[in-house]
Structure 1
Amino acid sequence: MEFGSTILHNVESLIRDEEAGDYLLCRVPEPTRLGLNMKAQKNILFASNSEIRFVMNGDSAVLGLRRMPAKGDIRSQGVLEVFQGDYQGSYEISPWSVTADRTEITIRRQDWSAIQRFAGNGYSFHPSVTRILLPYDWGCCLRNIQGDIRPPKKQEMPGKRLLVYGSSITHGGNASVPSGTYAFRLARKLGYDLINLGCAGSCQMDEAMASYIGSRDDWDMALFELGVNVIETWDGDRLYGKALAFLAAVLEARPDKQVFVTDMYYNRYDFEGDKRAARFRGAIQRCAAVLSGQYGGRLHYINGLEAMDTPQGLSSDGLHPSDLGHGMIAERLAGYMAEKKEVN
């Protein structure tokens, strides 16, 4: 969506905070948000791989941001990155901290002649596009943007999009920076733009989410990571039923799209020999087998252990990937998905 002279990417609605004088960014329209389970209604407000994009005509741009007040174990500041086109910003412009106090960030124009020459060999994002990668782990509010800037043109951004939905792992959990999430890395490897609808701790395959994804015609491939958020509360049969309905709804609504589904990447349940891990993977695999036949082979199953199969890819909580793990998942998924992309 457009905001002033910028594009708010992976943002579909703004919630006005009259007292603070800014807007909380949300990744889905408000009616969709209110149709999700209660936890997802809150967690879809996290800015997972949401970006502010613009092209600088002048020498600088100033952004007014604010982090949602932190609760519980959530840290009081988040990490924001700046990319220039496909390139991570150098130390002069990135990274930044965003706090619950009003945070003002000034991005100054650099000499981009080198990366503009690189673009002669092809690019996903044109080097002139400044991309503000918002902290993925919590909500972020936008007050204003000042400077001589313009929105990027369609041809200055990738022509295709990857849509992802899943747990906190897909939302980015425990990656050090937004560009370190496996979803960001995967889209980059495929040469696609990214729509991240991951819902931390609340990926319950809601009907409202399936309907919303099915209603969007701006994505080319989708990846769904299902199961881990309900392993403590559902049994395999319930997971099978919910996943079957969710996947069928998306496939039915978008008969021209390729859909990939995976389950749980390696985690402490596997290390401890918990039989629920195998049961849940089996449930997702059975769903994929049934639906792939019904929908002309457009649904592709990837066992989560094929993407990450070692505790060396985990962070200290034994559940979420580390930066190493996020990279491993992206690399392996990209190899499989790129092959299917070319075939289809």
Structure 2
Amino acid sequence: MVYEKVKLHNIEDLVAVEGFAGLRMQRVPESVRRKLNPEAQLQMCRPACAEIRFVSDHPFSIELSCPKGRGIVEVFYGPFQSQERYEITSDISVIHIPDPNRMTRYDQSKLSSLFLSPKVCRLLMAGEEMYIHDIHGDNCRPPYKEELPRLRYLAYGSSITEHGHATAPHLTYVEQVGMRLGADVINLGSGGSAFCEPAISDYIAARTDWDFATLAISVNMLKFPISVFYERASYMISTICRSNPNRPVVCITLFPYSRELGDNFIGMEDKGSPDDYRQALHQAVRDCPCENVYTLEGSEILNNVGGLSSDLLHPGDQGMIIIGENLARQIRPLIKKFY
């Protein structure tokens, strides 16, 4: 969405909240958020790789706050990472970009093959819910369509999709896939609450701004009986695939995690084994009549458990990169059939 002089990427609503200054940035519209489970309602207010984008040849500044915790903002110029990193707290923080068009000093003909124009200044966000306040800057505009990636990639899943234990937003597997495939990223990860609810399934299906999607139907769903897991996964898969037969949808089974590595505490309330749920997802895909749906094994995507962080559940930076590399490699031939 466009707000004042900037493009808010992966932000679909700005909401005034009583008792808080500024506007809360949300990854789904408020009408959708209210239909989700309580935890998902909170998670969809977290930025999860959302971005503030603009093009300007004058100094620029923006005011952000994170009243309920801590957030981080990293500055990129197109695909180029800068050393600028900001911590956002409950006090209003001013992010000042003195030279947003610094990359134009280089030979643009030698940068023309990039999937994202270096003219686009990008503020990548992560952490707790974040509020936008004032924007200052002359001659500032949202990016043009031709300055942005041609393809758009939507990802749904648990905290592993949202951010996991990545130490920076660009290190999430979703961003890693986007970078490798030259695609913009729409991150709809929902930590601890990716329950494949009809409201989020219908919302994803109704969106017309994505070209391919991954659905990591996940460890969050192991608290449901297998029959409910199948029913919800089946509805999500069929609804999204039927929305447009020319958009490939890739379903990912459970990644390896601690229960399979000897943890006797994790999974005590699960209604079946991890493999039971993996097989239920395979069955849901087989039962979908659409030809644009595919399944990938989480254990083949994260094929080195050393990529997990010490909780043996969430991938660390190395695991995110492994997932990004393997997932992009397997998705590439699938999207070539359509684009």
Q: Which of residues 114, 134, 142 in structure 2 aligns to 1:144?
A: 134
Q: Which of 323, 334, 342 does residue 328 from structure 2 map onto?
A: 334
Alignment partner of 2:16: what SS? strand
1:95 aligned counterpart, secondary structure: strand
Q: Kindly indicate whether the alpha-carbon contact (under 8 Å) linking 2:71 and 2:130 is maintained by their aligned counterparts in 1.
A: no
For 1:295, the equivalent position in structure 2 comes to 290
Take 1:156 and 1:214, find their aligned partners in 2: how far apart are those partners?
26
2:253 matched residue in structure 1: 263
Q: What is the aligned-residue RMSD (CA, Å)?
A: 1.5
Deviations 1:5-45 (A, max 9, x none): 10001111111145443011001111111111121111111
Match of 2:144? 153
Instruction: Give the drift of 1:321.
Output: 0.2
Give 1:161-172 correspondences, 5 Å limit: 161-172=152-163
- Give 2:228's aligned residue: 238
Amino acid in the other structure paired with 1:66: S
- SS of 2:176's partner is helix
Percent identity between the aligned chains? Answer: 30
Q: Compute the TM-score of the two structures, normalised by the length of structure 2.
A: 0.93
Selected match of 1:85 from 78, 91, 103? 78
Q: Which moved more, 1:207-216 or 1:248-257?
A: 248-257
Aligned residue in 2 for 1:173: 164
Whole-Å Cα distance in 2 between the matches of residues 300 and 248 of structure 1? 12
Superposed counterparts of 1:33-112, under 5 Å: 33-58=33-58, 60-70=59-69, 77-89=70-82, 91=83, 94-109=84-99, 111-112=102-103
Which residue of structure 2 aligns with residue 195 of structure 1?
Answer: 186
**How far does the alpha carbon of each residue in 1:285-341 deviate from its partner, in whole angstroms, 9 at most, with x for none?**
1111221xx112x10100100111332011122210000000000000000000111
2:29 counterpart of 1:29: yes
Secondary structure of 2:71's counterpart equals: strand
Tell me the equivalent position of 1:6: 6
Distance 2:33 2:198 in 1: 11
Is the contact made by 1:57 and 1:150 (CA closer than 8 Å) also made in structure 2? no
- Kept in 2, the 8 Å contact 1:227–1:239? The answer is no
Measured in 1, the distance between the counterparts of 2:50 and 2:35 equals: 21
Deviates further, 239-248 or 101-110: 101-110
Partners of 1:319 and 1:239 lie apart in 2 by 20
Query: Match for 1:287: what amino acid?
Result: A
**CA shift for structure 1 position 240:** 1.1
Distance 2:186 2:300 in 1: 23
CA contact (8 A) 1:55 1:130 kept: yes
SS in 1 for 2:203: helix
1:108-156 per-residue CA deviation (whole Å, 9 max, x = no partner) reads 2164223735413x11111110000012x32111001111211111110
Deviates more, 1:111-120 or 1:177-186: 111-120
Report the residue type matching 1:151 in the other structure. P
Contact 1:260 1:299 in 2 (8 A): yes
In the superposition, the TM-score normalised over structure 1's length comes to 0.92
Opposite residue 321 of structure 2, the aligned amino acid is G
Counterparts of 1:57 and 1:204 in 2: how far apart (Å)? 44
The Cα shift of 1:78 comes to: 2.4
Is the 1:115–1:127 Cα contact (8 Å) retained in structure 2?
no
C-alpha distance in 1 between matches for 2:259 and 2:252: 16
Secondary structure of 1:134's match?
strand
- Asked whether 1:124 is paired with 2:115, we answer yes
Work out whether 1:252 is the aligned partner of 2:236: no
Which residue in the other structure is 2:299 paired with?
305
> Aligned partners of 1:309, 1:237: CA distance in 2, in Å?
28
Where does structure 2 lack aligned partners over 5 or more consecutive residues? none
**Any stretches of 5+ residues in structure 1 without a counterpart?**
71-76
Structure 1 contact 228–263 (Cα < 8 Å) conserved: no
Q: Which residue of 2 aligns with 1:74?
A: none
Give distance in 1, aligned partners of 2:67 and 2:243.
35
**Which residues in structure 2 correspond to 1:11-22 (within 5 Å)?**
11-17=11-17, 19-22=19-22
Aligned to 1:209: 200
Contact 1:51 1:133 survives alignment (8 Å): yes
Residues 254-306 of structure 1: CA deviation (Å, up to 9, x unaligned): 22211000021121122128761111111111111221xx112x101001001
Q: Deviations over 1:69-110 (max 9, x none)?
A: 13xxxxxx3221001011111x2xx11111111111111216
